[in-house]
Amino acid sequence: MKIGFVGLGKLGIPVTVAIDHKGHDVLGYDTNPYITSTEHVKDMLFTREGGEKEGDTIDELLKNSKVKIADSLMEVVEHGEIIFVAVQTPHNPKYEGITRIPDDRKDFDYTWLTECMNDVSKCVDKLGQDKIVIIISTVLPGTLRKYIFPVLSSRIKLCYNPFFIAMGTVVKDFLFPEFILFGVVDDYAKNKARQFYKTITDAPLYETTLENAELTKVLYNTMISTKIGFANVILEMCDKLENTDCDQVVGALKLSNRRLISTAYMKPSLGDGGACHPRDNIAMSWLSNELNLSYNIFDSIMLGREKQTDYLADIVIMKQKEHDLPVCILGKAFKKNTNMTAGSISILLKNLLYERRCHVTMYDPYVDGGYFDLTKRVYFIGTEHDAFKEYVFPQGSCVIDPFRFINEQPGVDLYSVGRSHDRSQKSHE
């Protein structure tokens, strides 16, 4: 099938490679001229990405990829039997989750998506042929009807199909989704999209109204934030209660997968980050206020994330005073083994420590590269990079580990957050 793809960023590039991997004729387009470079493609992909088989690395997929890049939007419109639109709907940087939450709440910015769909509509009208357009972008319920429908060509057969993917595993998540969500606007577009997805996955396709699909997407992301926030309540409780271990408590809860939870995201550590979750909660908080809901749970989720990070800042300052050493946060990325820093909780921690006049340095091998000199300091593990497990910390140092994956080392004060029983036992020795 001939597929057009508009928007070649961190989601668009991996998905086009995955669609090409399934044998489709893919033509992509982006307004950024850098998009056409091989360096950009590699920047958007990570070694953790892979295809269908265990040995499929992104290098293998790229080596065999036949994805083409168009010089104009019109080329993509002419080419595609289905045209996917993956244009970002950004939030103001102050809602990214790396600073304290401002008092005001905001919806996403739909300027780029609206302009893009207006341009696509003009191309479709100029072409004089009906075209199927599938929007992927994250929006709040009612957005497409409010902002996109007024600029939409009557020749466009629309469908809303947001993806449920995580940065760093986009290819895998696209090829092996839990389900495919369709916000149905046009039956012809829906049926054509169904044919397409049968070539991609055996996952179930869930059809619903446009507004239901818009709401489902953001609720999916904010539910993840809720699980992480709940897990981190357990972390703090076990850090304060004697003879408790958050991993063992959560290990028991994970067995309750019929009534309570799946095991995904139930790992006490740091708050959630990334380009989606913090901003989605803020946007849903704004919507809750707009609808005058009786209780704004999304505000509580974000405030909980912030307060839990405040608690970790308390531990850092306590250990800094105890050892009288400079503080270094190891890790800037929001998730392990990637270089993506959007919404990073470790950067939020740095900013909260700055508020308290605690100077902090940061280092991340995936972001900064180069050589890092391990000197005697108070280290906080801010990202669960596998590389940090290999570090040999100087004697006299302190390591604060909210992931509990650093092994004890001679002469190093290891503070495994969420395991108060460790410290309790040592205090009686």
Q: What is residue 281's predicted lDDT score, i.e. its pLDDT?
A: 74
Residue 45 is predicted with a pLDDT of: 54
Closest CA to 387 of 409, 372, 375, 376: 372
> What pLDDT score does 223 carry?
86
User: What is the full per-residue pLDDT of the chain (429 aa) written as tens digits?
Assistant: 999 999 988 888 889 988 998 999 999 999 886 665 545 555 555 544 544 544 455 556 666 678 888 989 999 999 999 999 999 887 777 777 778 878 888 888 899 999 999 999 999 999 999 999 999 999 999 999 999 999 999 999 999 999 998 877 888 889 999 999 999 999 999 999 999 999 999 999 999 999 999 999 988 888 888 888 888 888 888 888 888 898 998 899 888 888 777 777 667 777 667 666 677 777 878 888 888 878 888 888 888 888 999 999 999 999 999 999 999 999 999 888 888 888 889 999 999 999 999 999 999 999 998 889 999 999 999 999 999 999 999 999 999 999 999 999 999 999 999 986 444 444 333
Buried b (16+ CB within 10 A) or exposed e, 371-380: eeeeebbbbb
pLDDT at 43: 56
Domain 2-203 architecture? 3-Layer(aba) Sandwich (3.40)
**Residue-range domain boundaries for the chain:** 2-203, 219-427
Alpha-carbon separation of residue 224 from 262, 278, 295, 330, 397 (angstroms): 11, 11, 19, 24, 35
Q: In what order do the strands lie in the sheet with 327-330?
A: 360-363, 327-330, 378-381, 398-401, 413-416
Instruction: Report the predicted TM-score, pTM, of the whole model to 2 decimal places.
Output: 0.77
pLDDT at 50: 47
For the domain covering 219-427, report its CATH number.
3.40.50.720
